[in-house]
A and B are shown apart, each in its own frame.
Chain A
Amino acid sequence: MTATAPDGARSFRWRRRSVLPGFGLSLGYTIVYLSLIVLIPLAGLGIRSASLGWDQFWAIAFDRRVLLALQLSFGSALIAAIINTVFGVLVAWVLVRYRFPGRRWLDAAVDLPFALPTAVAGIALATLYAPNGPFGALLDDWFGLRVGFTSFGVVMALIFVGLPFVVRTVQPVLEEIDRETEEVAATLGARRWRTVTRVIFPALLPAILTGFALSFARGVGEYGSVIFIASNLPFQSEIAPLLIVIKLEENNYAGATAIATIMLVIAFVMLFVINLLQAWSRKWFGHE
C-alpha cells in the first residue's frame, strides 16, 4: 500500500523523476493491462445494467428474494473468511514454526482447494454432509445440526475454498520475521503473550487482512462448490450467483447484470474498507 504520504509530498513525488527507470512505460502497461482484463468487462456490466431504468433497478435490488440471496452470499462469505482467518493463521504458524514429520505433505495439502475443481469439492462435501452421509448423520444425531443442503453447508464449502488464501499470505511473512526480534523482546522483559500481541501480531496484521480479503472475495463469488451443497431453494439457501444464473436462464440479461452490479459494488466497498484498514494498520504499527 503506497500513497499514504501527506498531499504535498505526493504531488512533489509525482513530478520528481523516479530513481528506477521505466516508470512511464510500466505504468502505461499496468493501466492498459488492467483495463483490458478487468475494467472493460466490468464497464460492459455497468452499461448493460444501465439499460434498466432506476425504478426497475431498485425493484430488482430490493426484491426480498434478491436481498436474502445477497445476505446469504455476503454473510456466509464473511463468516467463512473469519473462520479461515483464525484457523489459517494457526495453520501457517504450525507450518512455519515447528518441525515435524510430514510437514511438507501438510504444506502441500493446503494448496489442494486451489487446484481441485470446485464442483468436485462441492460433490465431496455434499456426500459427506448429506443428511444420510457419514458426517451429516452424526452431526444430526448428536447436535440436531443439518449441514448438507442448508446455509451451514454453504459456509462449509466457502471455508474449504478459502482456506489457502489466508495460509499462503501469512506464511511467507511469518517466515520473514526474525527470531531475534522475539529474543530481543524477551531480553527486554516482555512476557510471551506481550511478544505475540505487540511484536508478532503487528507484523502479521497486513498479511492477515490480505488473506481475509482474498478469502472473503473468493467466497462471495463462489458458485461451483456451493450449488452442490446448498439446497438452492428460493428464500432458504439460494446464493446470489445462482440467482444470476437463473435470471440468465430466463433470458433476463438486464436483471442478471443488475444483481451482478450490486454484488460488485458491495464487494468493492468491503474490499476498499479492508485496504484502508490495512493502510491504517501499517501506519499504526509503524511499518511505513
Chain B
Amino acid sequence: MRLKLIALAASLALGACGGQSSSAASEIALLNVSYDPTRELYEEFNADFAAAYKTPGGKTVKVNMSHGGSGKQARSVIDGLDADVVTLALQNDIDVIAKETGKIPTDWRTKLPANSAPYTSTIVFLVRAGNPKNIKDWNDLVLPGVGVITPNPKTSGGARWNYLAAWAYASKQFAGDETKIKEFVSALYKNVLKLDSGARGSTVTFTQQGTGDVLITWENEGFLTLREEDGDKYQMIYPSLSIRAEPPVAVVPGNAEKKDPEQLQAAEDYLKHLYSAAGQRIAAKHYYRPNDPAVADPADVARFQPVEMVTIDDPLFGGWAQAQPKHFDDGGLYDQIFTVR
C-alpha cells in the first residue's frame, strides 16, 4: 500500500517534469533505466544517438539515464518509474516487469535481433599481479586458503552469472551429477570472504581493500579495473569454461505510448541504434563484446580472448524462466549450498 503511494508520487513528479520539457521545446526526453556498469557506455552512446537523430516529425531526442542495481531498477519500474526503455543485466529483471505491469509485451525478447541483447559479456577472474596463488580455472577456487570475492546473487545480476558459470563448469566436470555440482559450488562459496551487494562493490573490496586472491567479475568490469591507474597490480584470467552474459534491452511501450505520439518511435529507434555499426563500435570500446565484431574497431575486438561459453538457454539451465526459480528463489539451489556445509 505504501509502495503504491510512493509509486504514485514518483510517477506524478516524473510526469510533471516530462510534460514540461516536451511541451516547452520540440524535443523528446527518453528515460533509459539501466544497471550500474553501463554508465560510461551509455554516456557516449546517448551523445552519439542524439547528435544525428530526428524523429519523423523533426523532433530531437534527449536521453536521460537512471543507473542502479539491476533488480532494484526493475522494481523501480514496477513501482512506477517512467522508463521508456530498460537496459538491464538480466533477462529475468525485464520478464518481471512484463509480468507485473503488462507495460512490456511478454514476447519482448523477439522484438530485436539476438534475443534483444545487442552486446554480450562473459565472466572472468581478476587475480593479483603475478598470480601468486596460481589460479587458472574454476577448480582452483575451491582449494583451501584461496579467498574469493563475488557479489551476492540475491542482490546482484552479475553475481548470478558468476554463480551460473561456476555451476556450468562443475556440471561439465561431474557429468551433470547434481550432488557433486552442489558440493563443488558450496566449496567455492565457502571460500568467499565477502558478498557485496553489487559488482562494483566487489571490485572495491578486491582492489581498494586488498581483500581476497581472486575476484569473479564481468569481463567489461575486469577491463575497466585494469585500465585504472593501479591496474598493473592485477591481471585477468579466462577460465576454461564461462557463460555468455546477455544484458538485454527492451522498449516499455506501456510508458512511452502515454507521452508524446512519437515517443514510442524514438524509443524503438534508440535501441535499434545499439545494433548499428556506430552502436556496436561504442559497445566494443567500452569492453562489451559486440554482436557484429566486423564493424567494431579491430584493436578493441582483439582484446577479447576466445573462451568456451555456455548460455542461459542451454538445456543445462533452460532459460531464465527455469533457472531463476530453480537457483535463486527463496530456498532454491543457491540457498541450499549454504545449508549443506
Contact = CB atoms under 8 A, between A and B. Distances in A.
Interface string B56-99: 00000000000000011001000000000000000000001000
A4 to B, nearest CB: 35
A45 B3 CA distance: 10
Interface in B154-192: 154-155, 189, 192
Interface stretch (A19-27, A182-190, A198-206, A240-248): A240-248
A18 interface: no
Nearest to A41: B2
Contact of B211 (A132, A249, A251): A132
A172 interface: no
A232 B195 contact: yes
B338 A127 contact: no
B194 interface: yes
A149 B211 contact: yes
Interface in B198-221: 201, 204-205, 208-211
Contact of A127 (B1, B100, B193, B209): B209
A251 B3 CA distance: 13
Contacts of B192: 231, 233
Interface in B237-268: none
Contact of A149 (B1, B193, B204, B339): B193
A23 B75 CA distance: 45
Contacts of A255: 330
Contact of A233 (B72, B195, B209): B195
B313 interface: no
Contacts of A45: 2
Interface string A229-272: 01111110000001001111111110100000000000000000
B195 A231 contact: yes
A130 B209 contact: yes
A267 B71 CA distance: 29
A41 B1 CA distance: 9
Interface in B321-341: 328-330, 335, 338-339
A148 interface: yes
Label chain A's interface by main secondary structure. helix
A227 interface: yes
B330 A252 contact: yes
Contacts, number: 76
A133 B209 contact: yes
B120 interface: no
B38 interface: no
Interface residues of A, number: 34
Given A127-B208, A232-B194, A255-B330, A249 B338 contact: no
Given A44-B1, A245-B197, A235 B209 contact: no
A228 B194 CA distance: 9
B205 A126 contact: yes
Most chain-B CB neighbours within 10 Å: which of A45, A47, A127, A235?
Answer: A127
Given A227-B197, A245-B197, A250-B154, A126 B1 contact: no
A282 interface: no
Given A149-B194, A149-B211, A231-B195, A250 B328 contact: yes
B96 A251 contact: yes
A246 B205 contact: no
Contacts of B2: 40-41, 44-45, 48
A247 B330 CA distance: 8
Contacts of A233: 189, 192, 194-195, 338
Interface string A192-232: 00000000000000000000000000000000000110111
B305 to A, nearest CB: 29
B152 interface: yes
A150 B195 CA distance: 12
Contact of B330 (A133, A149, A232, A250): A250
23 contacts: A48-B2, A123-B204, A123-B208, A126-B205, A126-B209, A127-B209, A130-B211, A131-B193, A132-B209, A133-B209, A149-B194, A231-B192, A231-B193, A231-B194, A232-B197, A235-B338, A235-B339, A245-B155, A249-B71, A249-B154, A250-B154, A250-B328, A250-B329
Interface of B: 1-3, 71-72, 75, 96, 100, 152, 154-155, 189, 192-197, 201, 204-205, 208-211, 328-330, 335, 338-339
Given A123-B204, A148-B211, A230-B194, 14 more contacts: A45-B2, A48-B2, A127-B209, A131-B211, A149-B193, A149-B194, A227-B196, A231-B192, A233-B195, A234-B338, A250-B154, A251-B96, A251-B100, A253-B3
